[in-house]
Structure 1
Amino acid sequence: MGARTGEGIRVVAVTVAVLLLATATFLANRVLPGWAYPVCGTVTAVLLVVLARSSGVAATAMGLGRRQLGRGAVVGLIGMGLVLLTFAVALAVPAFRPLFDDGRVGSPDLTEVLWQTLIRIPLGTVLVEEVAFRGVLPALLGGGQRWRWGPVLGAAGLFGLWHLLPSLALVRNAAVAGTLGGLPLWLLSVLAMLAAAGAGVFLHWWRHTGRSLLAPVAVHTATNSGGLAAAWWLLAHR
């Protein structure tokens, strides 16, 4: 009876978490002003952790255990270094530079770039996505410190769906427009969500390796913030 009750609580918690995330992405992308984006992400992440803990999920199962912080930081820094090195090499090779030619970046000044890379992306995007899709949801789906394909793929699939709204603007990236621009928008969006789901599996593997959310947080931040900084640098030095 107790096991069934616990399973029922987890099902309800997953449902609430998905609804919370759907509300958050709608508010962040369609309703709230730009300055509120990191606030929305941070508040959502905190609510998700509270939801999971109240449902009986241990902190270690979400990658939030204190004992794993050291290993997570080391693995995260290694991943961050590899991502930034890859970006540096890509910028140095002219054939790869169109990858960073993204119309979504616009023409921000240095202050805006610092806001985006140091606050908006880490708190509004990375924090909520890692807490949700590499921490809370896999744990609620039955995962934890052990690698289990069901929870990993379930969370990765939801991570792909999370990228529905952002995928609609992908045609503004020069490399995407040049290679896939002839595809219908719906198909491009599906491909983007599948790619995001694949990235979700990889990030979960990185979290599994580091035993902490710090590991994928570092890689995710380097990818998103580093990619924006690279795109800005490329635009500024044309």
Structure 2
Amino acid sequence: MIRAFALVAAVVTLAASTTLANRVLPGWAYPVCGLVAAVVLVGLARAAGLSWADLGLRSVRRPALVGLAGAGLVAVVFGIALAVPALRTVYQDGRVGTPDFGQLLWLTCGRILFGTVLIEEIAFRGVLPALLGARDDRWRWPPIVGAAALFGLWHYLPALAIGRNAAVHAVFGGTPVVVLQVLAMAAAGVAGIFLHWWRHRGHGVLASVIVHFTTNAGGLTLAVLVR
């Protein structure tokens, strides 16, 4: 009963957090909102009897090594995309704008790291899977898929702007916005499973944090450089 209550409270916390971050609060408060939500989620999980190991927050060394290996693979994929002219449209994103170095540093190390990656990894690769019954010693599909589905729904508001990416527009240019939004949320759900694999292999959320941050911050940086 306590775990079920914690699960409902966690989902409500996340719904409130994404609404506040994307529709109510000013831009500077985005990472603050993420940090506060992450602390609340961890508090709910601990109150429900989950251990630090259950949440993937106990160890550092192995998750860091696995995460760095994942970051290296992401860098290779980015390099291939840059080397192939036909793939460079992936980085042409109208949402990026023209930030200077200081703004880029804020976007990557402020908004992305603390406002996006930290809350998403603690929530969807740590707290929610554990509350749904995931175990650190073996892969269990139901809680992982459940958390991934919620991760997809979490992207409901950000997915509204997905059509501004040049590659997406080139492939789905005439597709209704609602269809693009559903596809974007489905893709986020699949990405959630991929990220949980890194968390599982590393026995810690830090592994998926590193992979997630490398993907988002690296993608943004390259989008700025090749625009």
Q: TM-score range by the shorter chain?
A: over 0.9
Kindly provide the CA deviation profile for residues 120-148 of structure 1, in whole angstroms up to 9, marking residues without a partner as x: 10000000000000000000011120311
For 1:153, the equivalent position in structure 2 comes to 145
For 1:5, the equivalent position in structure 2 comes to none
Amino acid aligned to 1:118:
C
CA distance in 2, matches of 1:207, 1:33: 31
1:121–1:221 contact (8 Å) kept in structure 2: yes
Larger Rg: 1
From 95, 99, 120, the counterpart of 1:108: 99
Q: CA deviation at 1:89?
A: 2.3
1:60–1:144 contact (8 Å) kept in structure 2: no
Where structure 2 has 5 or more consecutive residues not aligned to the other structure, the ranges are none
Aligned to 2:204, the other structure's residue is in SS state coil
TM-score by length of 1: 0.93
Aligned to 2:135, the other structure's residue is in SS state coil
CA distance in 1, matches of 2:225, 2:29: 26
TM-score by length of 2: 0.98
Q: What does 1:134-213 align with in structure 2 at a 5 Å threshold?
A: 134-145=125-136, 146-213=138-205
CA distance in 2, matches of 1:195, 1:92: 24
Q: CA deviation at 1:119?
A: 1.6
Amino acid aligned to 2:104:
V
Kindly provide the CA deviation profile for residues 37-79 of structure 1, in whole angstroms up to 9, marking residues without a partner as x: 011111111110011001101110111113xx21100000000
CA distance in 2, matches of 1:17, 1:173: 31
For 2:218, the equivalent position in structure 1 comes to 226
1:62–1:144 contact (8 Å) kept in structure 2: no
From 43, 68, 80, the counterpart of 1:77: 68
For 1:4, the equivalent position in structure 2 comes to none
For 2:111, the equivalent position in structure 1 comes to 120
CA distance in 2, matches of 1:39, 1:56: 26
Q: CA deviation at 1:181?
A: 1.8
Amino acid aligned to 1:75:
V
Kindly provide the CA deviation profile for residues 139-188 of structure 1, in whole angstroms up to 9, marking residues without a partner as x: 00111203111100100000000001111101100000110121111111
Amino acid aligned to 1:221:
F
CA distance in 1, matches of 2:193, 2:87: 25
Aligned to 2:41, the other structure's residue is in SS state helix
CA distance in 1, matches of 2:225, 2:106: 15
Where structure 1 has 5 or more consecutive residues not aligned to the other structure, the ranges are 1-7
For 1:19, the equivalent position in structure 2 comes to 12
1:76–1:217 contact (8 Å) kept in structure 2: yes
For 1:60, the equivalent position in structure 2 comes to 53
CA distance in 2, matches of 1:124, 1:14: 21
CA distance in 2, matches of 1:26, 1:181: 27
CA distance in 1, matches of 2:173, 2:207: 34
